[in-house]
Structure formats: structure tokens, C-alpha cells
Chains A and B, each alone.
Chain A
Amino acid sequence: MAVTGAALEREAPRRRRRVSGATRLGVALFSPALVYILALLGLPLVLAFLYSVGDVTVGSVGYEFVGLENFRSVVESPSFRRALVNSFVFTIASQVIVIVCANALALALRERFRGRGLVRFLILLPWVAPISLGAIGWKWILDSIYSVVNWVLAKMHLVNLFDPPMWLGRPALAMASVIAVHSWRMIPFSTVILLAGLTSIPKELPEAAAVDGAGFWRTHFEITLPMMRPIINVALLFGVVFTFTDMTVVYILTRGGPYDSTQVLPSLAFQTGVLGSDLAEGAAISMFLVPILVAVAALMLRVAHRAEVV
């Protein structure tokens, strides 16, 4: 803030007098939001933890402490182990795709060209349209009988139309499909965030590098990308956390099948806790998400912090 020394001195006594009243008002203005968040997010989280070490089903009234019993039965189930591995595969694979694609896309959209506004808007569309809609569209495209993808591939003589690939019916293909659709959903959001990071880089730097003889790729990897590190971290943090806790794409496309091959932790927790009415075990499964998320968040924040300092 550009305030001269004299102005600061004149301001100081007045400000000090004002502080206590303003601070009280500040607290008064801030507390409703804080109380609301604590009551409807913090408290349920504590309860969820209590559920996970208790004996609670949808019908039950009482509560009995059972210690780590739920966790033991969860860890021992093959579905859970499968879902844990799947969650990591799903999150890492889709985030790698998302960051690479969003980066390229953000670079392209930084340029001024005819129709850029339209392209930007159209790319945002998958994010605005309900994901259930996008997922239904994809489900239809990957349908076992009416798949338009298969039809095109058959025309190109790449697949046999009478024995087409079952995009959602074979374990490996189903996983690949779910990852592709989730990436489809996440790229717009990351692109917009990265675009913001790109526009905040002073234009002079890459231009100076270009004058000094650095090519496009060299400028990109040695100047633009390092400067974008903090913003990439933000996009990645949001993306990882969101992907790890979301089940929409899996639920609509495959419901976790075939044979649990696309089951991820959130969808398993949903099936067990809500559809299966075993609140305690569902809560126990979702508790496994928490330490992993905290670790990811702490790691990312540290990386972001360091990047800012350097």
C-alpha cells in the first residue's frame, strides 16, 4: 500500500481508537458463517468418526462402542482393498491427464484469436452442465449395443461390429472409460484456473527469453512452467481432493462394476452405508479418505509455500 510516512502518522492514533470496535464488529460478522460451518460440517464429521467406532445402522436407536471392529471388518473385505487400489489408480491417472491437457489448452486459449471467447465458453460447458447429463451422454456413447464409437471404429475397420469392445463391461476397459469421462469433466475447471495463472505471468519474461533465442518448448519448460508451479499446485490440490471424494461418474457409468473393478472408496461407502443401511461400516470406509486427504493437502500446501518463497 502506498501511504506516505506523514499520512501514516496522522492515521495511526485514529486507527488505534477504531480497532477494538471494528474488531468486535468483525467477529460479529464472521461468526454466523463460522458457526454454520462448524454445526453442519464440523459436527457431522465428529459424528461420522463416532459412527465408525460404534454400532449404528439405519434402524438402530442405541449406540454401542465397538472400537476398531468396523475398521477391521472393512480392511478384511476384498471389496475394500479393491476400492482402495482403484481410488488411487482413478485419482492419479485422471489428474495426470487433466493437468497435461489443461496446460496445453490454457496455453492455446491465452492467445488472442478469432472466436476465442466462444471456445472458452464451450469448454466451460461440461463443467456447467450437470455431470449426470455428461455421464449419461457418455454412457450412451459407450453403450454395448448402440455405441457410436464402436460404429465409427467399425467403419474404419478397427473393430468387428459383431464382437465390439464392451467399454463398460470389461474390467480394464471400464476403468479406462471411467477415468476418461472423469478427466472430461475436470479439464474445464483446471483449464480456467491455469489460464488465470498464465495471465498473471508478466508477458515481458517469455518475450525476453524469446529474444534471447529460447525456443517455444524451452521457454515453456524453463520459464512459464516454473512460474506456474503455485497455480498448478492449486489446481492439482483441488483436483485430487475432488476426484478422491467424488463418486458421480462411477455411480452413473458402472455403479462400481463389473465385479467391483471400478469401485472407488466413495462409491463403496455409499453402497455400504446408504444403500446397504450399514451406517457404521459406511462411515468407517469414508474415514479412510480423511488421513489420505489431509496428507495430500499438507503436502500440496507445503510445496505451494516453498514455490512462493523461492
Chain B
Amino acid sequence: MSPRSAWTIALPYLAFFLLPLGWLALTSFWPDAELARPLPSHLTLENHAAALSGGGLARAVLNSLLVSGATAALALALAAPAAFAVARLGVRGGRALLGGALAISMFPPIATAAPLYTALRAARLLDTLPGLVAPYTSFSVPLALWLLTGTFRALPVELYRAARVDGCTPLGAFRRVLLPLAAPGLATAGLLVFVFAWNELLYAVTFLTSPSRRTVPVALALFGGEFRDPFVVLAAASTLATAPVVAIAVLFQRRVVAGLTAGAVKG
């Protein structure tokens, strides 16, 4: 395929992909009074100011950062040793366990929402941020495990052997040699988990009730109905709330692609 025909395929897709995001971003600069016009006569920052006033949105972004960050950290802490065990220590039935974990994580989140609701209420974690991190992590660990096992398998086995010969215990070899070398894979897995937690809506809307604890997807989904704000303000709020995760994606885009593809090839 020539570069030109590659462009002919890619360009319409790009337009299709970026249309809603771009249009929403443009709408956020649109003066409210001019919504009936096909294009605005001038652009304004009033909507962004209105979206930020009251602090609800900043609060939601902070909540989302806390929840997503904690989920990523916890998922990596659980998945990295387990992945190392499957990849290098020859845990019997490791592949079966891996497949089983992945299969369980495919079960519909909605099925577990009700039991988790009851359990969180009993543990007094309902409507708290840790109460959201706990179930997010259980959905993220299988994915992280899957990706990290691939990462550890991709590291030359000679490295592990050399570390052992030089006197490292298996745990020492893992901690001092393999873990630092697996840093790119860890970053990728952490990033994917972060994005998943950042975007999750179902559990967040079910388990959180106080407006001050809302995460970004909940705040956005409930925005219009609750405050009766004009749509332009919602557009501004959405645009502002997305900026952090887009910034992260820009910084780590290579990692994201590399990680997704690594997991896929191993699959």
C-alpha cells in the first residue's frame, strides 16, 4: 500500500474519531447566547470559569486522580510478583491460573455490583474512595498480570540465571535485576489500569453518593441534570476534566501502544 492510499484510509477515520472531541472542545468556547448559530461570532472563556466555580469539578478531578493512582499502585504491587512467579519460577499450572484470572475478570461488572454494594456497606466503605479502589483493583489485577507475565518472559532468561549464579536469591534477582528492567512494562500496565479506573462509570455511580466524592465520569454524567447548567458549561467542564488524562497519554503514548501490542502478541 502506498503512503497516499494509507492516508486516504486514515484521514476519514481521523475525522470521524476527532469530530466529537473537537466539536465538544469548540463548544466549550462558544458563547451561550449564540448556540442557535451554526458558528460562534467570538470565543469566550466564561464557560470554563463557570464550570470551575463551586469547585465541584476540581474536586472530581482530584478524586479521580487519587482513585486511579491508588488502583494502579495496588494492582502493580499485587500483579508484579505474581507475574514473575508465573514467568520465571515455574508455578505449576501458572498458565491455567493466568487464563482463569483473565476469564473471571471478563465477567460482567454489573453482576458483582449488588454483592459488592452489600459488602462495602457492611465494611462501612460505601461512599468512600477506598471503597472504589478495592473493586477496581480486582478488575485490574488480571490485566496487569497478563501484561507483566509477557514482560518478564520477554526478558532474557540468562539475566535471571546470571543473577542467581552471582549469588542473588530468587527474590533478590527479582527485586534487584528483573524489576528495574521491567520498568517500561510496569509503566505500561500501570498506565492501562490508570486509564481504566479513570473512565469507569458503573461502580462509581453505584457506590458513591455524596457529590463531594464523585469521580470525573460520574460528575460529567450527572452534570446537566443536577445543576441545570447550559450545555456550554458542561462542554467546558468535560474539556477541562479530560486535560489531565490526555496530558498523561501524550507523555506516555509510546508506552501505551507498546504495552497494548505486547499483551496482544503474547495472547
Chain A residues within CB distance 8 Å of chain B: 1, 18-19, 21-23, 25-27, 29-30, 32-34, 36-37, 39-45, 47-48, 51, 56, 58, 101, 104-105, 107-114, 116, 119-134, 136-138, 140-141, 143, 146, 148, 151, 184, 187-189, 192-193, 195-197, 199-200, 216, 231, 234-235, 241, 244-245, 247-248, 251-252, 266, 269-270, 273-274, 279, 282-283, 286-287, 289-290, 293, 297
Contacts and interface: CB of A to CB of B under 8 A. Distances in A.
Given A32-B82, A192-B257, A266-B108, A37 B141 contact: yes
B171 to A, nearest CB: 6
A56 B92 CA distance: 40
Given A122-B14, A197-B265, A231-B265, 19 more contacts: A18-B164, A30-B86, A37-B105, A40-B116, A40-B135, A45-B107, A51-B115, A104-B9, A128-B195, A133-B242, A137-B21, A189-B260, A193-B261, A200-B265, A245-B106, A266-B202, A269-B111, A290-B108, A293-B106
Given A26-B85, A197-B264, A248 B201 contact: yes
A94 to B, nearest CB: 14
Contacts of B119: 44, 47
Contacts of B78: 32-33, 36
B184 interface: no
A37 B170 contact: no
Interface in B223-260: 231, 234-235, 238, 241-242, 245-246, 249-250, 253, 256-257, 260
Interface of B: 1-3, 5-7, 9-10, 13-14, 16-21, 23-24, 27, 35-36, 38, 78-79, 81-82, 84-86, 89-92, 94, 97, 101, 103-119, 134-135, 137-139, 141-142, 145, 157, 164, 170-171, 174, 195, 198-199, 201-202, 205-206, 216-217, 220-221, 231, 234-235, 238, 241-242, 245-246, 249-250, 253, 256-257, 260-262, 264-265, 267
Main secondary structure of the interface of A (DSSP, over half): helix
A26 to B, nearest CB: 3
Main secondary structure of the interface of B (DSSP, over half): helix
